Structure 1
Amino acid sequence: MIGIFKTNISTLQDKNTVVNAIAGHFRTSACTIDLEDCDKVLRVVSQQLEENQVIAFVRSLGYQCAMLD
């Protein structure tokens, strides 16, 4: 499954923090954040993806996160 989310992550340091935190908390096969995109798209690939859990986790780190329409 692939989850695609809109975030407010804007710096390389924030990107690395969030990607490493997600990789350590969830069983993912890939996790990327596109800082060039206007929506700062977070893409998470996982066998057992719970989108609401990803959103809650990213928000707990202090960032905005929502499903991308």
Structure 2
Amino acid sequence: MIHVFRTSVISEKQVRQVEPFLKTLMSNEEWNFDLEDCDKILRVETEKVTPETVITLLKSQGFECSELSE
């Protein structure tokens, strides 16, 4: 399943800040940021990790994060 999140991550430096946590949480799943999008999108393709877990992870690192509805 693909989940799409609006975030406050605005730079590659910030992506590198959260990258180790995302890799630990989703070692076998695909994820990427689209910093060119106005909503600074994080796309996550996972069958195991819940949207709430991703939101909690980013918020614990000081970023805003909310799932976009389809």
TM-score (norm 1): 0.87
Q: Which residue in 1 is equivalent to 2:21?
A: 21
Shift of 1:28: 4.2
Percent identity between the aligned chains?
30
Q: Which residue in 1 is equivalent to 2:7?
A: 7
Shift of 1:24: 1.1
Mark the runs of 5 or more structure 2 residues left unpaired by the alignment.
none
- Give the Cα separation in 1 of the matches to 2:25 and 2:53: 10
4+ long deviations beyond 6 Å:
none
AA matched with 1:12: E
What's the RMSD between the two structures over aligned residues? 1.4
TM-score (norm 2): 0.86
- Give the Cα separation in 2 of the matches to 1:68 and 1:61: 20
Mark the runs of 5 or more structure 1 residues left unpaired by the alignment.
none
- Give the Cα separation in 2 of the matches to 1:64 and 1:28: 24
Which of 7-16 and 27-36 deviates more? 27-36
SS of 1:18's equivalent in the other structure is helix
Q: Residues 1-69 of structure 1: matches in 2 within 5 Å?
A: 1-69=1-69
SS of 1:62's equivalent in the other structure is coil
